[in-house]
């Protein structure tokens, strides 16, 4: 099979534009974002999602099945250029530029459905890790307050390890969303340092699970919509231990316990 096809050189203007996509403002303006890395881009190519163009090492373009990429404009660049563009220490061999997703408005969980709501999660790595674990626990939707880290931040996309293709992340006024939940009598669980021991709590199959900011937790405003406060008890007996868990770790433990109880 002849895998050779024509590569387009990267213009200075396009290089600049790609660098700008690390910045939320420009992602909004250009309505585009970047997905980096061999594994993620290969997953993307089979997903059928629209790709605007691909930037890769010439070697990567030669290795991949031509049929997988021939319908896209492919720019061949040096490893050093890719490293600069991806902003990562570990060099990536390929990047794809995609149009922003068109996520529908956040809706309330259906019967037997859990949805995660995030109140001002700031760290992109935490957001990405939460998207990844939501995927694992079969959670299809995450509702973010507008001040959460940006879904399209390259660090978020990277740390989802591909789950950004499956879990829908909605940005909205979280208060209004939770007001709707209140009107519809949907249980809203909130993770606090003081609340009912999660292992003893009866966790509903239809639920919104609210997780708060890394240092401040759930804000008072958002907390007023919580119908059941839950907590992961510390098992450090006698004396002071850690004050809290990392928010992605806490979300994982809570989703695990919801999932476990749903099996009973």
The binding site for a second copy (CB under 8 A) comprises: 125, 129, 132-133, 135-138, 159, 161-163, 166, 199, 232, 234-237, 241-246, 248-249, 252-253, 256-257, 259-260, 262-263
Closest contact distance (angstroms) between CB of 128 and a second copy is 9
Closest contact distance (angstroms) between CB of 194 and a second copy is 15
Closest contact distance (angstroms) between CB of 137 and a second copy is 5
- Return the number of the residue (224 or 244) whose C-beta is nearest a second copy: 244
- Return the number of the residue (1 or 237) whose C-beta is nearest a second copy: 237
- Return the number of the residue (172 or 206) whose C-beta is nearest a second copy: 206
Contact 211, 117 (CB under 8 A): yes
Cβ atoms within 10 Å of 1's Cβ, excluding its own: 6
Closest contact distance (angstroms) between CB of 256 and a second copy is 4
Sheet holding 228-231, edge to edge: 168-172, 141-145, 114-118, 207-211, 188-197, 228-231
Contact 54, 74 (CB under 8 A): yes
Query: Which residues does 49 contact at the CB level (< 8 Å), separation at least 6?
Result: 98, 165
- Return the number of the residue (15 or 101) whose C-beta is nearest a second copy: 101
User: Which H or E run contains 251?
Assistant: helix 247-263
């Amino acid at each position: 099979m002849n895998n050779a096809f024509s590569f387009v050189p990267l213009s200075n203007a396009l290089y600049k534009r790609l660098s700008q996509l690390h910045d939320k403002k420009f992602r909004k303006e250009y309505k585009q974002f970047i997905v980096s890395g061999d594994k993620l881009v290969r997953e993307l190519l089979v997903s059928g999602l629209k790709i605007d163009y691909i930037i890769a090492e010439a070697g990567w373009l030669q290795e991949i099945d031509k049929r997988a990429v021939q319908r896209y404009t492919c720019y061949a660049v040096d490893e050093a250029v890719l490293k600069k563009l991806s902003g990562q220490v570990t060099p990536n061999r390929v990047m794809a530029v995609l149009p922003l997703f068109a996520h529908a408005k956040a809706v309330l969980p259906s019967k037997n459905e859990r949805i995660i709501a995030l109140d001002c999660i700031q760290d992109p790595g935490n957001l990405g890790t939460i998207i990844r674990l939501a995927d694992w626990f079969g959670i299809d939707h995450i509702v973010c307050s507008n001040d959460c880290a940006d879904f399209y931040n390259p660090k978020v996309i990277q740390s989802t390890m591909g789950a950004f293709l499956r879990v829908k992340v909605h940005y909205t006024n979280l208060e209004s969303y939770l007001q709707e939940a209140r009107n519809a009598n949907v249980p809203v669980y909130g993770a606090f340092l003081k609340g009912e021991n999660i292992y003893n709590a009866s966790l509903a199959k239809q639920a919104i699970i609210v997780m708060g900011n890394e240092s401040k937790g759930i804000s008072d405003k958002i907390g007023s919509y919580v119908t059941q406060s839950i907590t992961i008890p510390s098992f450090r007996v006698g004396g002071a231990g850690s004050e809290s868990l990392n928010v992605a770790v806490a979300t994982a433990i809570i989703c695990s316990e919801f999932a476990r109880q749903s099996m009973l």
